[in-house]
Structure formats: structure tokens, C-alpha cells
Amino acid sequence: MATALSLRQNAPVMGQAQVRVRVVLGIATAILVLVALINVTSPPAVGVLIALAALTPWIIASPIRGLQVLLAAAIAIELDPLGFPDSLTDRVPFFTNLDNSLGLSGISVTPAELLMVLILVLAFTRAEPAVRARLVNGRLFRPYLLFLLAVLMGEIHGLLNGGDLLKSLWEVRPQLYGFVAFVAASLLIRSRQDIVWIAAVAVAAILLKGAIGDFRYFVVLSRNLGTHEAVLGHEDSFFLALMPMGALAAFIWQGWSPNLKLFALACPVPLVALLVNQRRAGIGAMVIGVGVVILLAIRFNAAHRRRLLIFALIGSAIAIAFLITFWNDQYGVIGQLVRPIRSQIDPTYRDYLSNLYRQAENVNLQISFQTNKLIGMGFGMPFLVVVTQADISTFYPLWNYIPHNTLFWVGVRMGLVGSVAFWGLIGIALLEVCRSQSVQKDRFVLTVVALAGGAIAAELLVAYADLQLESYRNMIFMGVLFGVLNVIPALFPEPAVEARRFV
């Protein structure tokens, strides 16, 4: 009798886990089919436009779907073709101007921008006054708006001083995309279920990218990269690193729940792809993101604080022992775990050249910052090259406009004004993470908020090393993430007593 009762009690949980796995796999399959259909269209841009036209009635019926499509595209579709024989998502010109894709002069707009315009129109026309007020009254709206104003000021300042308009748009566009995604998320997310769907779409898109990376490495390349430095785009390592963070957050705040079962099934796929993609910044992002999730749990999860402290100490000891044991392994999957640390002390020739380039670049950025500390050089202006850098202009024409270190780039372009606005936005977002951790009770919300904290820290690390603040994909994702943080207090009202205690 007891056994039968136990099975009946566990059946709904098992059913939920199976449903969520099916939902995620279904979304991933839908993305794959859509991408495949676009790839067989000639030219692919026509396929993108046909897909957007076909999806428009579906999006109009429920505008939140437009945000889901935009998020899935940001995670799954690369900015440029990678040139592999199995190329799939990187051949979809979602972020490419239509005049370049179709050979039509004067159409300097991308399919992504067309989708964003549709989403914004629907978001504002369908939003009740209370929803618009929720956007404006959210704690992240004013900081984000101030940062956007600093960006626009930098654009005007740069153009007035002779900056190149076309090159400045490469710099400014991602920041505008991020704000659009933030506004859309703040207006369109109306319930807990909307956040659940946003999370499911993100997991499905990351799972798809992980599967592509694994297939490419183990089947197409037969575990031999040859002349290739990576199997996926640079930005993909950031997205792949989110899965271990999410799995850890789900384990801490939800226990052996359907969400954790989903992560447990899905996590190995993107984790292996993260390792074989061979981006040091991606591995570092995963480590620092996991560290932030653990710190949040130790600070705010009093019920498990002691266990988490013990876990952190044991994990640190294991990590140190792992580094000592495999210190000389610089290749293969294990070598990728050691490489981010060893490359700073005893780098390989490839890592040595990469380190040397970044060191010279950072010095040049610091010198450029000195030219106008208050408001910066403005956008569209090449930064000063006093210390010689390796010539990478043949494959990266914007090398002296958009540096690898995009944290320094903020100061160079917008000076102290822009830096204060940027770090103010980041600081408010992290404070919002801590506040929600302090006052919220919903375990799923706590999981999402903890992952947001880890993702922000991870983004800062990759932004320091690898162009990420200038990636359309990263900025769209971060805009949606900030939008989620912006609406959580309105969707899940905070107890007044506990809120005062946090403040």
C-alpha cells in the first residue's frame, strides 16, 4: 500500500519532468527544422524573410512568442559563417543587412531588426497603462536608459569629431539591441509561466548549439581541429557555460526536481561542446559563474549554508588537485580545463601570442582613454596604437575600433560618464539579484535569479577578454535577462518587512 501511494505521489513529478524534456526537445527540433529550411533556400536571406512572414501571424496572436524567437536566434545563430562542411546555423543571415544578402542597395536593415520592430510595436500597442508603468517603475529601467543616453552621447561626440558613421554603427547597434530586448521583455513578460517559457527556449537553443558542436568535433572533424581554433563561434562559449550554472542553481534551490532532471539530461551535451570549443574565456566564464551561484547560495540560502560551505571547500580542494595532476595536459578535453590558468603562467605558443596581443591592446586602450577622460573619444574613431599590435586586419577589419577588451572599450568610447553609467547598470542589476534572493520565496524564481547573477559575472569576464559587449547575440540575451530582473518584483510582490530588512 505504501509503495503504491509513493508511486502515485511521484507520478505527477515524473510526468512534469517528461513534459518539460519533451517541450525543450520540441523547441530545439523546431529551431533545427526552421534553420534547415532556410539553408536550402537560395539565397538564405529569402528563407529568413519567408520564415519571419510565416511566423508573424503566430507572433501577433501572442507577442511574447516574438521575444522567444529573438532569444532563440540570439543563442543559436552566429554572426558570420564559420566555413565548416556541416555549417548550419552560421549560414542563416539573421544579423546580416539585407542589401548585403540580397544585393539590393539602400536596404541597410537586418531580419533581426525587422523582428525587433514587430515585437516593440506589438508590445507597446498591447500593453495596458499598468504594464507600461511597470516598465518605467522597474529598478533597472532608469539605469539602463542612462547607459543608452551615454551611448547616444558617445555616438554624437564621435561623429562631430570626424568619426566613421558605418564603423560607429557596428559599435552602437549591439547596445540598442540590448535595450530593445530589455524593453520588450519588461512589457511582454506577464506571468511566471512566461519566464518558464523563456527559460525553456534558452535551454533548447543552448542544447541545439551543444549538439552541433559535439557532432562537428567528434564526427565531422574526427576529434582533430586541424587549422580550426574552435568548433563554434566565440559567443557560443558564453551560452554553453550557462548550462552548468543553471544545473547547479536548480540543484541548490529546487533539489531533485523536474527542472534538475531536465538539466541533468541536457547538461553533458553543451558542457562537452564548451570544452572542445577551446575558448579560455568560456571556461573562465563557467568557473566564475558557478562561483557566484555558490556565493549567492551561501549568503541567502540559510538552510543549506553549512553544506554549501563544505561543498565549496571540497570542490576547491578537488580543483587544486586536478590542476596539479593534469598541469602538463595542454590538449584534449582535460587540457581545456587546465589551459585558462596555465596559459597565464606557462602558455603555449598560441596562447603566448594571444596574451601578447591583448597586453599591447590594453596598453593602447589605456593611452586612448587619457585623450578625453570625461566623455571619451566617441564612437567611430580608431583608438590610438602606440604599442605595436600584431596585424590581424586581414580577418578582422575593425581591430582598431572594437578591441577584445570591451570593458576598457566602454571608457575609451564614453569616458568616465559612460563608465559610471555602465557600472551603475551592472551594480543595480547585481543588487536586484541580491534583493530578490533575500525576499522571494518561489524556488523557480530563486533559481532564475541566481543564474542571472552568475550570467552577469560571466559576461563581465568574457567582455574583458573576448569582444562580448559588442556582440549582437550577447547584448540581446543580456537585455532579456535584465528585463526578467526588472519585472520579477512586480510579478512576485515583496514582503514589506523583509524588503526593509534587505535595504
Q: pLDDT band for position 116 (50/70/90)?
A: very high
pLDDT digits (tens, 9 = 90+) for 378-419: 999 999 999 988 878 787 888 889 999 999 999 999 999 999
* Packed helices 332-345 and 268-276: angle between N→C axes, nearest 10 degrees: 50
Q: pLDDT band for position 468 (50/70/90)?
A: confident
The pLDDT score that the predictor gives to residue 421 is: 97
- Taking 3-state DSSP, the helix, strand and coil percentages for the chain, each rounded to the nearest 5, stand at 75, 0, 25
The pLDDT score that the predictor gives to residue 100 is: 72
Does the pLDDT of residue 173 top 50, yes or no? yes
Task: Tell me the HSE value of 324 on the side-chain side, using a 13 A CA sphere.
Answer: 6
Contact 68, 204 (CB under 8 A): no
The DSSP call for residue 38 is H
The pLDDT score that the predictor gives to residue 282 is: 87
Does the pLDDT of residue 106 top 80, yes or no? no
Give the C-alpha separation, 296 to 334, whole Å.
28
Judged by phi (left if over 0) then psi (alpha if -120 to 50, else beta), residue 294 lies in alpha
Contact 369, 361 (CB under 8 A): no
Does the pLDDT of residue 13 top 70, yes or no? no
The pLDDT score that the predictor gives to residue 330 is: 65
Helices then strands, each counted (H, E), the chain: 20, 0
For the residues 268-291, what does the mean pLDDT come to?
A: 89
Does the pLDDT of residue 143 top 80, yes or no? yes
Give the C-alpha separation, 452 to 448, whole Å.
6
Decide if 52 is inside a domain.
yes
287-291, 301-305, 366-370, 451-455: range with lowest mean pLDDT: 301-305
The most distant pair of C-alpha atoms in the chain lies apart, rounded to whole Å, by: 81
Question: Which positions ≥6 away from 355 have C-beta within 8 Å?
Answer: 343, 344, 347
Decide if 8 is inside a domain.
no
The pLDDT score that the predictor gives to residue 4 is: 41
Give the C-alpha separation, 48 to 94, whole Å.
7
Residue-averaged pLDDT of the chain: 86
Decide if 10 is inside a domain.
no
Decide if 2 is inside a domain.
no
The pLDDT score that the predictor gives to residue 337 is: 67
Which set of grid coordinates corresponds to residue 154? 558617445
Does the pLDDT of residue 250 top 80, yes or no? yes
pTM: predicted TM-score of the whole model, two decimal places = 0.89
15-24, 268-277, 366-375, 421-430: range with lowest mean pLDDT: 15-24
Contact 360, 388 (CB under 8 A): yes
Q: Which residue has the higher pLDDT, 29 or 399?
A: 399
The pLDDT score that the predictor gives to residue 347 is: 66
Percent of the chain having pLDDT more than 90?
Answer: 54
The pLDDT score that the predictor gives to residue 502 is: 47
Decide if 94 is inside a domain.
yes
For the residues 234-252, what does the mean pLDDT come to?
A: 92
Grid cell 564614453 is found at 414
The DSSP call for residue 393 is T
Q: pLDDT band for position 270 (50/70/90)?
A: very high
Which set of grid coordinates corresponds to residue 229? 581554433
Give the C-alpha separation, 54 to 58, whole Å.
8
Decide if 79 is inside a domain.
yes
Decide if 496 is inside a domain.
yes
The pLDDT score that the predictor gives to residue 63 is: 95
The pLDDT score that the predictor gives to residue 157 is: 95
Decide if 1 is inside a domain.
no
* Packed helices 165-188 and 129-137: angle between N→C axes, nearest 10 degrees: 120
Nearest to 238 by CA among 445, 53, 80, 475: 475
Distances (CA, A) of 288 to 227, 260, 343, 441: 29, 21, 17, 25
Q: pLDDT band for position 7 (50/70/90)?
A: very low
Q: What does the H/E/C string look like for 259-324?
A: HHHHHHHHCHHHHHHHHHCCCHHHHHHHHHHHHHHHHHHHHHCHHHHHHHHHHHHHHHHHHHHHHH
Long-range contacts (CB closer than 8 Å, 24 or more residues apart) made by 388-393: 388/360, 389/357, 389/360, 389/361, 389/364, 390/353, 390/356, 390/357, 392/357
42-51, 269-278, 357-366, 428-437: range with lowest mean pLDDT: 42-51
Does the pLDDT of residue 88 top 60, yes or no? yes
Question: Which positions ≥6 away from 119 have C-beta within 8 Å?
Answer: 59, 63, 66, 67, 70, 180, 184, 188
pLDDT digits (tens, 9 = 90+) for 189-230: 999 999 999 999 999 999 999 999 999 989 988 888 777 778
Does the pLDDT of residue 499 top 50, yes or no? no
Question: Which positions ≥6 away from 209 have C-beta within 8 Å?
Answer: 75, 76, 89, 232, 236, 239, 240, 270, 273
85-99, 129-143, 252-266, 404-418: range with lowest mean pLDDT: 252-266
The pLDDT score that the predictor gives to residue 60 is: 94
pLDDT digits (tens, 9 = 90+) for 436-456: 999 999 999 999 999 999 999
What's the number of domains the chain is made of?
1
The pLDDT score that the predictor gives to residue 9 is: 41
For the residues 340-366, what does the mean pLDDT come to?
A: 77
Q: pLDDT band for position 15 (50/70/90)?
A: low
Q: What does the H/E/C string look like for 91-113?
A: HCCCCCCHHHHHCCCCCCCCHHH
The pLDDT score that the predictor gives to residue 501 is: 47
Distances (CA, A) of 261 to 16, 256, 404, 442: 10, 7, 37, 18
Domain containing residue 218: 15-502
For the residues 280-293, what does the mean pLDDT come to?
A: 91
Handedness of CA 423, 428, 431, 433 (dihedral sign): negative
* Packed helices 192-215 and 443-465: angle between N→C axes, nearest 10 degrees: 50
C-alpha gyration radius of the chain: 23
The pLDDT score that the predictor gives to residue 319 is: 76
Does the pLDDT of residue 333 top 70, yes or no? no
